[in-house]
Amino acid sequence: MVSVSAMASKVFVLFIASLAVCAAAGPPIDPQLLQSVFGAAAPGFAAPASAQAVPVRPATDNGTLVDPDYWDAPDNFSPAPADYDRFDWTLTKRVAASSDANFLLSPLGLKLALAILTEAATGVTQNELSSVLGFDLDRNLVRRKFSTIIESLQKKSPQYILNLGSRIYIGDDAQPRQRFAAIAQEFYKTELKTVNFNDPSVAAKEINTWVSDTTQGKIPTLVDEDDVAGMVVLVLNTLYFKGSWRHQFAPNATKTGQFYVSPKIQKNIPFMNVNDKFYYVESSKYDAKILRLPYLGNKYAMYIIVPNSLTGLPRVFNDLSELRLELNNLREYQVDVTLPKFKFEYTSQLDGVLRELGVRQAFEETASFPGIARGQLLHERLRISKVLQRSGIEVNELGSVAYSATEISLVNKFGVDTEANAEVVANRPFLFFIQDEATRQLLFTSRVADPTSADGAFKFI
């Protein structure tokens, strides 16, 4: 048996959307307008905490090694229907079909950014974005949904760290409509900041400093001077997650084993092992094993899907839309889990995928984003020029670390060993996703095809 050690998780997500316009700078948001539209102002977004997660050892205030508040609390997993995730699975499936290599996406990071742009759009531009994202036609329902998601993600706990930040950098020659700015602040907790894009070095430094701070240094340099030169608006969304496994892997049990990159190619890598109670199902639909690995606190969990065949992962990706239904079959078993250690980074350019899925006018000269640029003359209109996401993940004995940056550029139109009931050995390409259990939102989706591969990229135009 390949052995394994303790594991925790860290995740970072960054979304960026940049816009260039030719409008004059506007006045700050009128507080009375904000209150008249939404009522009393909500508390401002708090800066991410820099403190590290507490050690995974239980507290001993009660004189024992058990903290009844969380350490020995039952893992009452109950699958629930998830909405607003059709886009997430569609995006994952499309990127997975592009190659057989590793990939890592943050569907939630991209979706939050596009949701903010949808608020700034009108007409066909807005309708296409809403349709592809699976949004309700009632904007108020969409706003309340995202407000609930963001509120869930911003809940603080000593058992994990999740920092969510959102900003829109506004150039001196751009003027957002006050109603759009108020909506961004109230429902999406998105702060508007003025920056001088005409001084690219200063603008790039300010943006990179904020991104680095909110991702705890995992993305120290997102943009350079050339990226921001001539920019008018930049939308940023960052997410950092760090958690420890509820069921720890033994740190001294990691051993080398073979990972089947393909039936003919094997690589020796470190594997971790734990034998404990997990929610698990042997899926006949996917001919795969599905395992839920909760993090301490049970608010977040990683799900891994390991095909029984060395070449069976495409079958899983081909029918991702039914995966949620299959999770209803998860039951608690004593499971012996063998999981590889891995670490890689990934860059994906997603313009072409969004076009293929139906977001088209947003990239054309006829795009309409009046919520950000007042002027609607042809030479004043904006269009999306680039959608880029940068991400990374590390899974080891102490946990996993994942981070991601999505950039959308808009320019002018010009435990204890016991006998296991089941066994999961992830020694072949597998799918995993990390989600917020409260809202069923996908923080990350990924394929691990080669744990030794350090980086990868995707571009579809």
- What is the structure's pLDDT at 414? 47
Q: Is residue 37 scored above 70 in pLDDT?
A: no
- What is the structure's pLDDT at 389? 78
* Winning range, highest mean pLDDT, from 122-126, 249-253, 372-376, 410-414: 122-126
d(CA 17, CA 12): 17
Percent of the chain past pLDDT 90, that is, above it, reads 39
Of 337, 430, 428, residue with least CA distance to 4: 337
Q: Is residue 50 scored above 60 in pLDDT?
A: no
Computed on alpha carbons and rounded to an integer, the radius of gyration of the chain in Å comes to 22
Percent of the chain past pLDDT 70, that is, above it, reads 74
266 pairs with which residues across the strands? 260
- What is the structure's pLDDT at 59? 38
Buried b / exposed e along 318-348 (16+ C-beta atoms within 10 A): eebeebeebbeebeebebbbbbbbbbbbbbb
- What is the structure's pLDDT at 38? 37
- What is the structure's pLDDT at 400? 63
DSSP secondary structure letter of residue 315: H
Residues of the chain with CATH 2.30.39.10: 251-340+416-459
Of 55, 60, 48, 295, residue with least CA distance to 154: 48
Q: Is residue 374 scored above 80 in pLDDT?
A: no
Q: State mean pLDDT over 312-334.
A: 93
d(CA 165, CA 4): 34
SS3 223: coil
Q: 5 is written with which tokens?
A: 């050690």
Q: Is residue 18 scored above 70 in pLDDT?
A: no
Pairing of strands 399-412, 300-307: unpaired
pLDDT tier for residue 13 given thresholds of 50, 70 and 90: very low
d(CA 423, CA 289): 9
Distance of CA 366 to the CA centre of its chain: 30
Q: State mean pLDDT over 286-293.
A: 97
Q: What's the CA angle centered on 53, arms 397 and 332, to 5 degrees?
A: 55
Of 52, 103, 17, residue with least CA distance to 444: 103
Q: State mean pLDDT over 323-338.
A: 94
Each residue of 261-270: pLDDT tens digit?
A: 999 999 999 9
Q: What CATH fold (topology level) applies to the domain 8-26+83-244+343-412?
A: Antithrombin; Chain I, domain 2 (3.30.497)
Strands (E), 171-264: 191-194, 233-244, 255-262
SS3 349: strand
Q: Does residue 126 or residue 1 have the better pLDDT? A: 126
Residues of the chain with CATH 3.30.497.10: 8-26+83-244+343-412
pLDDT tier for residue 79 given thresholds of 50, 70 and 90: low
Q: Are 106 and 113 in contact (CB under 8 A)?
A: no
The class (CATH top level) of 251-340+416-459 is mainly beta
Total number of residues shown for the chain: 461
d(CA 253, CA 327): 30
- What is the structure's pLDDT at 143? 94
Of 264, 268, 245, residue with least CA distance to 256: 268
What are residue 172's phi and psi, to 5 degrees?
-65, -25
| Window from 146-155, 161-170, 239-248, 389-398 with minimum mean pLDDT | 389-398
